[in-house]
Amino acid sequence: MTYLLGSHHVTLSVGGAQEDVDFHTQVLGMRFIKKTVLYDGSSPVYHLYYSNAHGDPSSVITTFPWAQAGLYGTRGTNQAREVLLAVPANSLDFWAQRLAQHNIAATQSEIFGERRISFLHPSGIEYQLVGVVGDPRQGYTGYGVPQEAAIHGIHGVGIHVFDQDRMVDFGNEVFFAQGEIWEEGDRARFRVGTDSFGNWIELTGNRTDPQGTWRYGAGTYHHFAWNLDTLANQEQVKFDIEGAGYTDISELKNRTYFKSHYVRSPGGALFELAVTHEDGGWDCDESPEELGKQFMLPTQFESERESIMSKLETISIDAKIEE
């Protein structure tokens, strides 16, 4: 039997490294848990990780700051666009005030019966804090964010698509869609996997924006990762997806902390099939208490540490931004 639990992490192409650190820690109050580099290609680019209190699968945002390399993307249709994060339902007034204190423009709305606050990452990526009830994940209480307002983790992924039906078909055929399809205005959503939180796919019908870029490039969403739990299940799911004709799928890649296949969905969004394997996890190279304190490199890059560090901007995890 093949299965999918829920979300695993979100990966974004952002602008500057320091502004990204400041945004996720000083503004959103997330925990910084890992500083490493992109494993693919030859360009040294940071890979930065943020999470809730415990680094749960379904709580992690990771970023590649591409501005230093001069690489920028285009937001558009047929592309993942919105970072949806779950917060306690009664915390939206706190977040509206906090964002205003940091001079971040935000708008409030109610979508699918959930109160939300929408705002932008400094590189332009769209974020939404979604008020939810009964989420068991524990938020991080650093940087002045109290437990009663702290971000639980991922709520889901917002994808802009030319044709919503093709993504619904994909969910129903091979990607573990659960329950009914909700529709509201130009949006439709459904849940995938067995988790009771963090696994919504929201589809916005968009036939006006140009095609969004799929490559790395500052200001764009790169991929959304799903938790397949075990390597055996992950391989069977890959086999089933390919067998259904969705053959734009990668070989297995070892990311140290997890192992992954990548599949391009018919709505353009890149999905990752991720497993935190027995030799992985965020604490496989740092203790749980010291996560994010050191610059971690995979074994194959360790001999180039000095050269790599010389090409990356210096960042401070505890740097302050103006109130």
CATH number assigned to the domain comprising residue 252: 3.10.180.10
The pLDDT, as a whole number, for residue 82 is: 98
Q: Is the residue at 322 inside a domain?
A: no
Q: Is residue 1 part of a domain?
A: no
Alpha-carbon distance of 67 to 125, in angstroms, equals 14
Q: Report the C-alpha gap between 37 and 42 in whole angstroms.
A: 11
Boundaries of domain holding 170: 6-310
- Whether residue 181 lies inside any domain: the answer is yes
Residue 57, C-beta contacts closer than 8 angstroms, at least 6 positions apart: 5, 6, 7, 8, 9, 227, 274, 276
User: Would 106 be classed as within a structural domain?
Assistant: yes
Residue 238: half-sphere exposure toward Cβ, Cα within 13 Å: 23
Domain count, the chain: 1
Asked if residue 175 belongs to a domain, the reply is yes
Q: What confidence score (pLDDT) does residue 41 get? A: 78
* CA-based nearest residue to 167, from 276, 103, 89, 77: 77
Instruction: Answer yes or no: pTM beyond 0.85.
Output: yes
Residue 323 lies in a domain: no
Is 321 domain-assigned? no
Would 318 be classed as within a structural domain?
no
Confidence at residue 29, expressed as pLDDT on a 0 to 100 scale: 98
pLDDT along the chain (323 residues), means of 10: 97 97 98 93 90 96 96 98 98 98 98 97 98 97 95 98 97 96 97 97 97 97 97 98 97 95 98 94 94 91 90 80 40
